[in-house]
Amino acid sequence: MKRFIEAELRKWAKSKRRKPLIVKGARQVGKTYIIKKFGEEYFDNLVMLDLERNPQWHNIFEGELNPKQICSDLELVLNNKIIPGKSLLFIDEIQAFPKALTALRYFYEEMPDLHVIAAGSLIEFVLNKISFPVGRLQFLKLNPLGFVEFLHANGHEKAVQKLLAPPQKLSDTIHGFILRQLREYFFVGGMPECVLTYRDSGSFKKAFEVQSEIITSYRMDFAKYSPSVDNKCLNIVLTSLAQNVGNQIKYLKLAEGFSNPTIKKAYNLLVLANLS
Contact present, 74 and 48 (Cβ < 8 Å): no
**Domain containing 102 — which CATH number?**
3.40.50.300
Residue 139, helix vs strand vs coil: strand
* Report field, pTM of the whole predicted structure over 0.85: yes
Count of positions (residues) in the chain: 276
Domain that holds residue 252: 221-276
Tell whether the torsion through CA atoms of 208, 211, 213 and 216 is positive or negative: negative
In this predicted structure, what is the pLDDT of residue 269? 85
Q: Tens digit of pLDDT for each residue in 166-210?
A: 988 989 999 999 999 999 999 999 999 999 999 999 999 999 999
Q: Tens digit of pLDDT for each residue in 21-68?
A: 999 999 899 999 999 999 999 999 999 999 999 999 999 998 888 999
**Number of domains present in the structure of the chain:** 3
Shared-domain flag, residues 53 and 159? no
Q: Identify the weakest region by mean pLDDT among 92-96, 184-188, 203-207, 224-228.
A: 224-228
Q: At a CB cut-off of 8 Å and minimum separation 6, what does 17 contact?
A: none
Shared-domain flag, residues 133 and 24? yes
Cα separation, 84 vs 116, in Å, equals 10
